[in-house]
Amino acid sequence: MKSMVVLVSGGGTNLQRIIDCIGTAEIPNAEIKLVVADRECFGLQRAEKHGIKNVIIKRGKNFSQKLTDVLPENTDLIVLAGFLSILNKEFCERFPGKIINIHPALLPKFGGKGMWGHHVHEAVLKTGEKESGATVHFVTSGIDEGKIILQKSFEISPNETVESLADKVHEVEYSIFPEAINMVLKDY
Ligand code: GAR
């Protein structure tokens, strides 16, 4: 049985999707040992409801060190599921190939500092892109720069809004995130 730690900052619908996949054919052989949030958020309540140990480490300078301190031994995978703090270089380099992130656009486009949540969708619409999607990638010390594991796109419709785009991206995320997690875990 593989063990995961999931990091969240918001509503946690991707966390919910992962929880729902555990023990099914989508993620058959893993458990979530701990959910860490960098602020009060609904994601924590989802963890609590499912009896998953959870903790808040306030965002800020010492976040990565404090995260290291609470990380369960033998953690196979650290999953960033709508997590908005930046993990420091030392932390990223300590766990090469063991941290993955979901990003709400088609990287390498629309990534980097400040590119999160609705900011991404606003930028995509402003640029007049024909398509958007979601990307699961390995986390390295360069923001949103690690190797892509899975990516899926869809066409942007003429009357698309930030909200409708966010909904479509979420649907894509729910389909590729469990698959990417399972792919990575299988390789360990
Ligand atoms: C997701 O769309 C995820 O891709 C995005 O935040 C949303 C979280 O939704 N992540 C980022 O923007 C990270 N740069 P959720 O809390 O419902 O899973």
Return the closest-CA partner of residue 145 out of 107, 175, 180: 107
Strands 148-155 and 131-138: antiparallel
Domain boundaries, the chain: 2-186
What percent of the chain has pLDDT above 70? 100
Ligand 1 site residues (CB inside 6 A) read 10-14, 43, 81-82, 102-104, 116-117, 120, 169-170, 173
Among protein residues, the one whose CA lies closest to atom 14 of ligand 1: 116
pLDDT digits (tens, 9 = 90+) for 90-122: 999 999 999 999 999 999 999 999 999 999 999
Provide the pLDDT confidence category of residue 174 given band limits of 50, 70 and 90. Answer: very high
Give the span between the Cα atoms of 47 and 36, in whole angstroms.
9
Tell me 27's DSSP state. Answer: B
Among protein residues, the one whose CA lies closest to atom 17 of ligand 1: 13
Residue from 103, 118, 121, 170 carrying the catalytic annotation:
103
CA of 11 to the centre of ligand 1 (A): 9
Residues 9-26 have a mean pLDDT of 98
Give the span between the Cα atoms of 12 and 100, in whole angstroms.
16
pLDDT digits (tens, 9 = 90+) for 124-173: 999 999 999 999 999 999 999 999 999 999 999 999 999 999 999 999 99
Provide the pLDDT confidence category of residue 187 given band limits of 50, 70 and 90. Answer: confident
CA of 153 to the centre of ligand 1 (A): 16
Give the span between the Cα atoms of 110 and 120, in whole angstroms.
6
Provide the pLDDT confidence category of residue 188 given band limits of 50, 70 and 90. Answer: confident
Ligand 1 atom closest to Cα of 111?
14
Verdict on whether the full-model pTM lies above 0.85? yes
**What pLDDT sits at residue 2?**
97
Say yes or no to pLDDT of 38 above 90: yes
In the residue annotation, 103 being an active-site residue is answered as: yes
Topology of domain 2-186 in CATH is Rossmann fold (3.40.50)
**What pLDDT sits at residue 169?**
98
